[in-house]
Structure 1
Amino acid sequence: MLYLREMIKRCANNYPTKVAYYCGSRTATWKQMDERSDRFARALQKMGHGKGTTVSIMSLESIEVYEHFYACMAIGAVRVGINTQYAWPEVLHVLKDSKTRVLLVDARLKTMVADHRSEIKAIGITIIGYNGEHDFPLDYETLLSEASGTPEWPELAPDDLLFCSYTSGTTGVPKGVMLTQQGGADCVIHSLISFGFAPDDVWYMPAASAWVVIIMNCYGLGNAMTTIIPDGSFKIDAFLRDVERFRVTVGLLVPTMVQRAIIEQQNAKYDLSSLRLLMYGSSPATPKLIRDAREAFKVEMIQTYALTESTGGWITYLTEGDHKLALESEPDLLKSVGRVGIHFECSIRDDEGRPLPPNTKGEIWLRSTTLMKGYMNLPKETAEALKDGWLRTNDIGSMDERGYVYLLDRQKFMIITGAVNVFPTTVEAVIVEHPAVLEVAVVGVPHPEWGEAVVAVINKRPTHKSTSLEDIIGFCEGKLSKPETPKHVVFVDELPKTANAKVKKAEIRKWLSNEKGLVPWNTEIE
């Protein structure tokens, strides 16, 4: 098979002077990416590291993040990104769990490890600093300057580890998703094919690289297109300025980012004429948001659905043609995440694992070469998730006769109120149509009579600050069933989100459940 490390060489040989990455005022050509990553790979080998060694990185967004990943690809080392939003106990867990031996630390983040260097040293980890002033034992640029020759390439197998992506840590201890060489390569190639990306496209997906989305900023390995990296961290105004400055043609945002981009564009009016395609995914989007985005940006749109456990490989596609069909005659299609890509098999199954007929709610099961190898050091959880080559996603959905998948919600977010199952996304899709609502998250909160009660947490638009609980509940009447209608509404200035702009529903639920007085019943019920 064609591994990603071979794609790096081909990009460098076939497009040596073409820009691979822009990051702020910095650029790197494909030849430079190849040469610098080779130097780091060689430096790692001189230090005694190679195939199977975990080489981790704690960084804000920078070109070095990808030099590091490419170096790992070359020598078969396992790449691990450290989420910069983690508390120290979570960081330490990841370092120990992954058996990290080398840790690159962005000098801009040196205070995160300043008080823990003895702990890091005690578990056998060497720290390498880069991107500014630091006093770590080794310096990245010095290592590169002293490295000579080319790294030796060990033999690889398709199921060898490429990288390990740790969960965002919103519930419990982060767990490592082990992703393979074949999964990474197939994700790159099939994504390019399914999205219709070309060598002349300029791609911008401004998510934090600590987790699985790093592979999406490696799509250029499959066609040598140029990729934009956020300079340090994502900001919506910086994203739109970069689209204008670098003439971005294709971008991807999660729904919460899309909402903010719409507002920013309405206020500032950036030149986005280069943008031909806006992709959105990673969490459910409401039909209203889709309509608003098409109006604001005047671009084609594709919705996607993916999982960390599928190497971030996009499973379904709601194409531009699907969007047009929905807007012209089939509005309910906007509730779909599209049809399944050719590199996946999808089955909707009941609690016993039996396939269900079309239009029946059940758990989404998947089979593909991009599926994870398992969870790091968690054999029980791996066995529960992987069944005879299929992945149990824990996502609830259905598939109609034409193959369109409707993602209802994650099983863990489903609310059981008075023995009735309520899917938060269904409620959110109604509430967000209210003109006062900017963002909404619906969760189940323990209730003494119904087991759980539906509660909506709302971030209001600045122009509608007088909107009340009664306004929202009255708006839901006739649109939602009685069990689905919120029993209470809480207004907040902002919804808590992960580094990649996903709403932290587990955190919201815990807050509402534990802090007395936020809901008008006993919040201390377990």
Structure 2
Amino acid sequence: MTMNQPWLAEYPAEIPKELNLVEKPLQSYLTEAASLYGDKAAIHFMGKEIGYKELYESALKFAGYLKTLGIKKGDRVAIMLPNTPQSVIAYYGILYAGGVVVQTNPLYMEREIEYQMKDSGAKVILTLDILYPRVSKVMKNTDLEHIIVTAIKDYLPFPKNLIYPFIQKKQYGIVVKVDHRGQNHLFTEIMKTAVAEAVSQEEFDFENDLALLQYTGGTTGFPKGVMLTHKNLVANASMCDAWLYKCTKGEERMLGILPFFHVYGMTAVLILSVMQGYKMILLPKFDAETTLKTIQKLKPTLFPGAPTIYIGLLNHPDLKKYDLSSIDSCLSGSAPLPVEVQQQFEEVTGGKLVEGYGLTESSPVTHSNFLWDKARIKGSIGVPWPGTDSAVFSMETGEPLPPNEMGEIVVKGPQVMKGYWNRPEETEQTLKDGWLLTGDIGYMDEKGYFYVVDRKKDMIIAGGFNIYPREIEEVLYEHPAIQEVVAAGVPDPYRGETVKAYVVLKEGESLTEEELNEYSRKYLAAYKVPRIYEFRKELPKTAVGKILRRALVDEERQKIEDEQKTS
């Protein structure tokens, strides 16, 4: 720990300055919840409720079935699902089987799925019926041996389960039928035939055993698997619980819109809810009207989200028709939270909304503003969480800086990753003497509140998603008409940033924005596809020919500032 931790003086008496972590596996919290809250609802999903006892038994069934497929301690098993009961069952089932969860974005296209499966070495993947064609196409190029298939309808109440396949056919234009044999397995058949028996635990190492590979781009290049241990995830969820000190164990209702394949949704919704016996109200995707109706009907008390979600609700034309007064506490993550959004949302709900900060590499939360008893500090990401140390290091010397001096924000704590999967060199560059170098530039004030000013990373954060320019550029460079391309994040009032591609065509070639957009959508998940294309004769470069991405971003910001001055 650093000598000077002024933020501890800011802590309300209810928040502990340190955590006493019990060294037990993450899945043991589900075992306890089943014992304490067996008949209470663990999950509400589109009208259907699942109790903690049923969730626990289903997870054991899934674990047992994975064992029959040959899954051993340390083997990777991928989950490629939206927020559904199956995603929760599988998450804990994999852990009960001794496996390591690999969260995979269901928006991924074949190219992205293949990369992640090859890199992680996952042996089994659980996915939706409509995504099965994508996964099966890349299977032969990966270590995947089995595909487990489920459908949204599998956990819908009657008559929604009968109606949904027709809606799905109309929406996606496909009906996928998979038989329960060979390398293909049906989730419904597993739940019918498997037995809920406790899986014998092999030797357990709280500090070092991996629970999760969570993919992130870090500072450069292709996504890397962040190795998060049982300790990392238990610690961060415990910190979150300590921060929410006014919440009641076994009583709160958690709105689960943040996707579980995003580390924030996984920790703040999935893990915390099970750890505290809360009811998870799951929505498979964000739709403003559906969310408003859900809040009014089911009255969630906790609502972790991202700025784009809160903005989407506030801008809904019928917002005033809905009663959102059940919402007590909201922690916003994934992107900077505009002050006006915070104020407006608090007025509408009567609850508290504050900004937090973190990285995939820290499970993810490291800092937050206080929810109660303290005013939010405008522009600040807040103070470090219990048991977390933070400082600002000089980018020249690497030494800690005094308050109000600008440098790189660094963090240390039990939630900081073990390292990057199979990337020791990149791990060494990011972890220095136990400190996680965030790549974000900022400062700390005298009271210990931190402020992010800019980031070294070229990573784009659009709508809470991390997007890596190189991935987009690699795809666009494969187009035969393109000579040069650079992708950058440009300011966007709704998404925070949006992806813009600057394109130079080969001599004699022609290409329209529509053609390029159609091409991009074949190879990139929808949220990575550039929203804006600009065709140029040349791109700004250094003397050695390196394209100046930052110059393009600065140019875009200047353009916006000039427009605001004249409007």
Q: If the TM-score is normalised by the length of the shorter chain, which range does it land in?
A: 0.7 to 0.9
Q: Tell me the amino acid that sits aligned with residue 405 of structure 1.
A: F
Aligned residue pair count: 435
- What is the CA-CA distance between 1:228 and the residue it aligns to? 1.4
Give the direction of change, closer, same or farther, for the CA distance of 1:164–1:458 in structure 2 (3 Å limit): closer
Q: Tell me the amino acid that sits aligned with residue 516 of structure 1.
A: R
Indicate the SS of the match to 2:112.
Answer: helix
CA distance, structure 1, for counterparts of residue 357 and residue 278 of structure 2:
23
Query: Does residue 84 of structure 2 align to residue 34 of structure 1?
Result: no
Give the direction of change, closer, same or farther, for the CA distance of 1:320–1:209 in structure 2 (3 Å limit): same
1:198 — aligned with what? Answer: 248
**What stretches of structure 2 of length at least 5 have no aligned partner?**
1-22, 155-175, 462-468, 470-485, 495-519, 542-546, 548-567
Which of 1 and 2 has higher RCO (CA within 8 Å, sep 6+)? 2
Q: How does 1:245-394 map to 2 (within 5 A)?
A: 245-264=297-316, 267=319, 269-323=321-375, 333-351=377-395, 352-394=397-439
CA distance, structure 2, for counterparts of residue 115 and residue 2 of structure 1:
39
Output one character per residue of 1:257-307: Cα deviation in whole Å (capped at 9) or x when no partner: 211111127545211121112221221122222222223333222221121
Query: Does residue 203 of structure 2 align to residue 152 of structure 1?
Result: no
| TM score, norm. by length of structure 1 | 0.76
Q: CA contact under 8 A between 2:118 and 2:141: conserved in structure 1? A: no
Give the direction of change, closer, same or farther, for the CA distance of 1:84–1:168 in structure 2 (3 Å limit): farther
Give the direction of change, closer, same or farther, for the CA distance of 1:406–1:322 in structure 2 (3 Å limit): farther
| TM score, norm. by length of structure 2 | 0.71
2:128 — aligned with what? Answer: 106
CA distance, structure 1, for counterparts of residue 278 and residue 489 of structure 2:
45
CA distance, structure 2, for counterparts of residue 111 and residue 63 of structure 1:
22
**Which of the numbers 185, 188, 197 marks the counterpart of 2:237?**
188
- What is the CA-CA distance between 1:238 and the residue it aligns to? 1.7
Q: Tell me the amino acid that sits aligned with residue 234 of structure 2.
A: A
2:281 — aligned with what? Answer: 228
2:259 — aligned with what? Answer: 208
Output one character per residue of 1:425-461: Cα deviation in whole Å (capped at 9) or x when no partner: 9xxxxxxxxxxxxxxxxx9xxxxxxxx9x9965569x
- What is the CA-CA distance between 1:405 and the residue it aligns to? 0.8
1:129 — aligned with what? Answer: 149
Q: CA contact under 8 A between 2:333 and 2:357: conserved in structure 1? A: yes
Output one character per residue of 1:461-497: Cα deviation in whole Å (capped at 9) or x when no partner: xxxxxxxxxxxxxxxxxxxxxxxxxxxxxxxxxxx9x
- What is the CA-CA distance between 1:42 and the residue it aligns to? 0.9
Indicate the SS of the match to 1:100.
Answer: coil
Output one character per residue of 1:178-207: Cα deviation in whole Å (capped at 9) or x when no partner: 100111111222211112232211111411
CA distance, structure 1, for counterparts of residue 391 and residue 327 of structure 2:
35
CA distance, structure 1, for counterparts of residue 344 and residue 32 of structure 2:
41
CA distance, structure 2, for counterparts of residue 189 and residue 502 of structure 1:
34
Output one character per residue of 1:62-105: Cα deviation in whole Å (capped at 9) or x when no partner: 11101111012212200012112223222111101111011112
1:164 — aligned with what? Answer: 213
CA distance, structure 2, for counterparts of residue 91 and residue 456 of structure 1:
27
CA distance, structure 2, for counterparts of residue 193 and residue 266 of structure 1:
36
- What is the CA-CA distance between 1:171 and the residue it aligns to? 6.7
Query: Does residue 77 of structure 2 align to residue 55 of structure 1?
Result: yes
Indicate the SS of the match to 1:360.
Answer: coil
CA distance, structure 2, for counterparts of residue 238 and residue 165 of structure 1:
29
- What is the CA-CA distance between 1:252 and the residue it aligns to? 1.6
2:474 — aligned with what? Answer: none
Give the direction of change, closer, same or farther, for the CA distance of 1:456–1:218 in structure 2 (3 Å limit): closer
Per mean C-alpha deviation after superposition, the further-off stretch among 354-363 and 310-319 is 310-319
Give the direction of change, closer, same or farther, for the CA distance of 1:205–1:177 in structure 2 (3 Å limit): same
Query: Does residue 190 of structure 2 align to residue 143 of structure 1?
Result: yes
**What stretches of structure 1 of length at least 5 have no aligned partner?**
327-332, 415-423, 426-442, 444-451, 461-495
Give the direction of change, closer, same or farther, for the CA distance of 1:17–1:457 in structure 2 (3 Å limit): same
Q: CA contact under 8 A between 1:301 and 1:320: conserved in structure 2? A: no
2:17 — aligned with what? Answer: none
CA distance, structure 1, for counterparts of residue 527 and residue 132 of structure 2:
28
The alignment yields a C-alpha RMSD, in angstroms, of: 3.1
